[in-house]
Amino acid sequence: MINRAVLVGRLTRDPDLRYTANGVAVATFTVAVNRQFTNQQGEREADFINCVIWRKAAENFANFTHKGSLVGVDGRIQTRSYENQQGVRVYVTEIVVDSFSLLESRSQSERYQQQHGGNDSQGSASSQNGSNPNNDNLFGNSTKNNSAKAQDNNTDVDPFADNGKQIDISDDDLPF
């Protein structure tokens, strides 16, 4: 049997990190995943998929992501049910995340959040919780150094953007 789910999307809210009575970390979050097609009005719809992640991975996920972060998650689909306070049986389907990837840099994530009206008054979870006192990104470099390097190396510039320069490619450069 195979039960595998791989999602790429943006977080709809900050991850909700909690701890069980035994001290085990668990974070819940929702990923908005765009559909591949458009509706009759030409708009692209999205699915909102509930996810849960456990233990140290949950703490890391909560520390390095926030509303609007572009993430990739890999896990399995799980269904469960419980009886609510009114005595009604409630069924829940969610992704139990085994691993995740951050798919954009902190600066790209903050830019996206500013452009799309995100409220980042609390700051990122990593700087807010103090788990990253040097404001290091996941690659171990200071954000200040990264912005200077980005300007020097033009790493924030889209290499595929049409900047008016013609690309010089000979037939010998092509793989076919």
| Residue at 163 is within a domain | no
Structural contact between residues 131 and 123, judged by C-beta atoms closer than 8 angstroms: no
| Residue at 162 is within a domain | no
Which CA distances in Å does 152 have to 40, 104, 114, 147? 45, 20, 24, 9
What pLDDT does residue 138 have?
Answer: 35
Give the contacts of 26 (CB within 8 A, at least 6 positions apart).
Answer: 17, 18, 19, 20, 52, 53, 54, 58
| Residue at 175 is within a domain | no
Give the contacts of 135 (CB within 8 A, at least 6 positions apart).
Answer: 127, 142, 143, 144
| Residue at 171 is within a domain | no
What does the pLDDT look like over 50-89, one tens digit per residue? Answer: 999 999 999 999 988 888 889 999 999 999 999 999 999 9
pTM score, whole prediction: 0.60
Domain range for 26 is 5-157
- Strand stretches in 84-147, DSSP E: 89-102
| Residue at 169 is within a domain | no
What pLDDT does residue 3 have?
Answer: 94
| Residue at 167 is within a domain | no
Structural contact between residues 89 and 95, judged by C-beta atoms closer than 8 angstroms: no
CA–CA gap between residue 172 and residue 107 (Å, rounded): 38
| Residue at 174 is within a domain | no
Domain count, the chain: 1
End-to-end Cα, the chain, rounded Å:
40
What does the pLDDT look like over 102-133, one tens digit per residue? Answer: 888 777 777 777 777 655 433 333 333 333 33
| Residue at 73 is within a domain | yes
- Residue 159's pLDDT band, with cuts at 50, 70 and 90, is low
Structural contact between residues 15 and 29, judged by C-beta atoms closer than 8 angstroms: yes
What does the pLDDT look like over 26-58, one tens digit per residue? Answer: 999 999 999 888 888 888 889 999 999 999 999
Return the biggest CA–CA distance within the chain: 72
Q: Domain with 128 in it: what CATH number? A: 2.40.50.140
What does the pLDDT look like over 134-148, one tens digit per residue? Answer: 333 333 333 334 434
Give the contacts of 74 (CB within 8 A, at least 6 positions apart).
Answer: 4, 5, 6, 97, 98, 99, 100
What pLDDT does residue 76 have?
Answer: 95
What does the pLDDT look like over 162-176, one tens digit per residue? Answer: 666 666 666 766 665
